[in-house]
Amino acid sequence: MPEENLQVPSQQAAAPAAAAPARAVPLKAGGMAVASLVLGIIGFLTALIFIGFLVGVVGLILGIIAMSKASKGEAGGKGVAVAGTVLSGLSMAMGLFMPIVAAIAIPALVSSKQHAYMTKDMVNLKQLGMAAQMYADDNDDKFPDNLSELYPDYVGDIKLFLDPWHTDAVITEDSIDTLSSYTIVPGMTVFKDVNTILIYNLSQMDKQDKVNVYFVGHNVEPMFVNELRERLIQQQHEDITHF
């Protein structure tokens, strides 16, 4: 029986290539995470009013729930949830403390503005008093009976007759005595006692506890309104008695 030549394959057949592992698809940020971030931003921007605190509370709750779901793999957007939680927490803190800070700061700012107005008012009175003194030097030591007598020879800027609270008012030469913030006590001379009231801020007497007063002795001081009224009555009585 003839020998059969058996051919042995030189190489074995290549094994089939292993299948590539499936790539994990990242989970999208959940609605709660996004809502938490949005509410955190809104709460942060509205922290000056109490609504910022309330918005922050809702955002914080949603953020915590979203982080919990992200940790369990039920939803994505863990970073968004963390950001929303942090912003919501900050908005809550600001919502609590900012009104307190504002309650302290706003009165301080108002007081500072009031102090600045009072200082400017004293400067106005000082300038009017100096103008009245120059008038007296030219008129036998008698001060003017009306402030309009000072304009324009002794007071060049008609706005000087308006205090800092009424700088937007419109005043003319004919309306100085009716619209001026200040008033001058008539019948005064340079020989009066240095503590005699000459000019004072009339417009603020019903609005403030104190008003600025210019005395014959050239000094300007704030005075309680009740004291000013009593002093004016006393001066009027002394003048009547003198005559």
Query: Domain ranges in the chain?
Result: 31-103, 115-242
Sign of CA dihedral 130, 131, 133, 138: positive
State phi, psi for 33 to the nearest 5 degrees.
Answer: -65, -45
Per-residue confidence (pLDDT) for residue 14, from 0 to 100: 52
Q: Decide if 61 contacts 39 (C-beta within 8 A).
A: no
- Model pLDDT, residue 215: 96
The alpha-helical segments, DSSP class H, found in the chain are 31-45, 51-71, 78-138, 176-179, 225-242
The span from the first CA to the last CA of the chain, in angstroms, equals 171
User: For residue 222, which amino acid is it?
Assistant: P
DSSP state of 175: G
The closest alpha carbon to 181, from 157, 194, 200, belongs to 200
Edge-to-edge strands, sheet with 182-184? 182-184, 197-201, 210-215, 220-224
- Per-residue confidence of the chain (243 residues) as pLDDT tens digits? 455 555 545 555 555 555 555 454 455 556 787 888 888 788 777 776 667 778 888 888 888 888 888 787 777 777 888 888 888 888 888 777 777 777 777 777 667 888 889 999 999 999 999 999 999 999 999 999 999 999 999 999 999 999 999 988 999 999 999 999 999 999 999 999 999 999 999 888 877 889 999 999 999 999 999 999 999 999 886 654 433
- According to the model, what pLDDT value does residue 180 have? 94
DSSP letters for 22-36: PPPPPPPBPHHHHHH
What are the structure tokens assigned to 158, written together?
A: 């008609």
Q: Angle at which helices 78-138 and 51-71 pack, to 10 degrees?
A: 160
What are the start-end ranges of the E strands in 128-209?
182-184, 197-201
Q: What are phi and psi of 30, to 5 degrees?
A: -70, 160
- For the chain, the residue count is 243
The structure's pTM equals: 0.60
